[in-house]
Amino acid sequence: MHIPPPVPFAAAWLTQRLLSRRKKGAPERKVPAVAKLAAVGVAGVSATMMAGTFAQYRLGDTTVDPIRPDRTSALIVTGPNRITRNPIYVGFAGLLTAHALWRGSVSSLLPVAGFMAAVTPQIEQEEDALMTSFGRGYARYVKRVPRWLGRLG
């Protein structure tokens, strides 16, 4: 079953809000300025990664539709795809991380892991389609570039 990535992203975002909301009668949470600054930085990098990915796919005249990976007409290995095989998903996870930082809630990081777990089956389906379409070229790319980032791939 294909679930569009914005659905688990929205579910994780809402869960973060629920986990981090102030309890009735509790004092307002003071989020350190450094946490808010980090949130802005992470959000900026994440949004830039996602925008760069959309631009690369457009230039490569291929689809970004995760529901129809069989329509992929080119294997994009430049831009953000040089550091992760899934820059849009990494961007979504980054935006969720930024949201948790902004809210100053450690428990709000849990939905980030939930989002990553929720989209992994979709990623696996996309990888199968890319392997079918691009064979050895995609296999070499998989060996070189992590699924997520660094050792998390």
The residue among 14, 23, 25, 26 whose CA lies nearest residue 100 is 14
Do residues 61 and 73 touch, judged by C-beta distance below 8 A?
A: yes
* pTM score of the predicted model: 0.90
Overall average pLDDT of the 85-100 stretch: 97
H helical segments located in the chain: 6-20, 33-59, 87-103, 110-144
Confidence of residue 151 (pLDDT cuts 50, 70, 90): low
Q: pLDDT per residue over 11-41, tens digit each?
A: 999 999 999 887 776 677 789 999 999 999 9
Residue carrying structure tokens 């079918």: 132
Q: Kindly tell me if the per-residue pLDDT of 153 is higher than 60.
A: no
